[in-house]
C-alpha cells in the first residue's frame, strides 16, 4: 500500500523545482494531486507527465498574489476530487539580497504578497474548509533556512520566510485539537530555478551573504525535499505538529 493512497493534495509552485518533485512523488505514493502555478504552460506539461506515468493529477493556473486565484485553486481541488486532505505551500520568490537600507516598498510588498500573504490565504481557506466540514487536515509549508537565519538572503525574503515559520507554529497550536496539523520544511541550498526570480541584486548584500554561502557543504536536489514532504503528508508523521524540519545537508549545523 502506498503512503498517500486516496489523499487529495494541492501543491503550489508545482511547475518546477521542489514543487514539481513533491507533486510527482505524491502521485507515485497514490495521491490525487492538484498542481498550481502561474506558469501554466509548463505546469500542464508536468501534469501530463504525471498522468502518463499512471498518476491522477490536474493543473490549475494560480497567481499567489491574487486572492481570487487562491480561492479558486482550493475550490477546484474540492470540486474535482470531493475533498482536500493536504495543502503544500511551496510557491515563493527571492529578493535580490538587499539589506534594509536598500529594499524598496514595492519589492518588499511583492515578496510578502507571494511568500507570506499567499500562504496565509491558502491556509485560511483550507483550515476553514476542514473546520466547517469536520475533516482532518494537513498543511506543509516549504519555508527556507532563510526563515531561520539572517545571512542566507536579503531582508525581504528572510523576513517573509520568518513570518511563515510563525504562521506554521501558531496555526499548528491553535488547531491542534481540531485534527489539523501544520509543519514546515526549511530547505538549504537546492538546485532549483528560484534564482530566476532575483532582480536588481545588491552588491553589498551579495558580499555579506557570501560568507554564509561559503559554508554550504553540498547542493541538494528537489527530490531530497520531496521525500521529506511525503513523510510529513503521511501517517508516519502523525505526532509531528508545529515542527520545522531543516533539510540542508548539514549547512546550518555549523552555526
Burial tier of 168 (Cβ tally within 10 Å: 0-12, 13-18, 19+): buried
Backbone angles phi, psi at 55, to 5 degrees: -85, 170
**26, 81, 129, 157: the active-site residue:** 157
SS3 content of the chain, % helix, strand, coil (to 5): 50, 15, 35
CA angle 147, 252, 240 (to 5 degrees): 65
Tell me if residue 157 is catalytic: yes
What's the order of all strands across the beta sheet hosting 137-142? 56-61, 32-37, 8-12, 86-89, 137-142, 180-187, 244-247
CB half-sphere exposure, 248, CA atoms < 13 A: 27
Query: Can you read off the three cell numbers belonging to residue 53?
Result: 506515468
List, by residue number, the catalytic residues. Answer: 157
Amino acid at each position: 500500500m502506498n503512503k498517500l493512497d486516496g489523499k487529495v493534495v494541492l501543491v503550489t509552485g508545482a511547475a518546477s523545482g521542489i514543487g514539481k518533485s513533491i507533486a510527482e512523488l505524491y502521485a507515485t505514493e497514490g495521491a490525487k494531486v492538484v498542481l498550481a502555478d502561474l506558469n501554466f504552460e509548463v505546469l500542464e506539461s508536468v501534469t501530463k507527465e504525471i498522468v502518463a506515468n499512471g498518476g491522477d493529477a490536474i493543473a490549475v493556473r494560480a497567481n499567489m498574489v491574487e486572492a481570487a486565484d487562491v480561492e479558486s485553486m482550493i475550490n477546484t481541488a474540492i470540486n474535482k476530487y470531493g475533498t482536500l486532505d493536504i495543502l503544500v505551500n511551496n510557491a515563493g520568490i527571492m529578493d535580490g539580497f538587499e539589506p534594509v537600507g536598500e529594499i524598496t516598498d514595492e519589492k518588499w510588498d511583492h515578496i510578502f504578497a507571494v511568500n507570506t500573504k499567499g500562504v496565509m490565504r491558502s491556509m485560511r481557506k483550507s483550515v476553514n474548509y476542514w473546520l466547517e466540514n469536520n475533516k482532518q487536515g494537513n498543511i506543509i509549508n516549504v519555508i527556507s533556512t532563510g526563515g531561520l537565519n539572517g545571512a542566507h538572503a536579503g531582508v525581504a525574503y528572510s523576513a517573509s520566510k520568518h513570518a511563515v515559520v510563525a504562521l506554521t507554529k501558531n496555526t499548528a497550536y491553535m488547531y491542534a485539537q481540531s485534527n489539523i496539523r501544520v509543519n514546515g520544511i526549511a530547505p538549504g541550498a537546492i538546485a532549483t530555478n528560484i534564482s530566476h526570480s532575483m532582480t536588481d541584486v545588491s552588491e553589498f548584500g551579495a558580499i555579506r551573504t557570501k560568507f554564509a554561502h561559503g559554508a554550504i557543504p553540498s547542493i541538494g536536489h528537489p527530490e531530497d525535499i520531496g521525500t521529506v514532504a511525503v513523510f510529513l503528508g503521511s501517517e508516519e508523521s502523525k505526532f509531528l505538529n508545529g515542527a520545522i524540519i531543516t533539510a540542508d545537508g548539514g549547512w546550518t549545523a555549523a552555526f
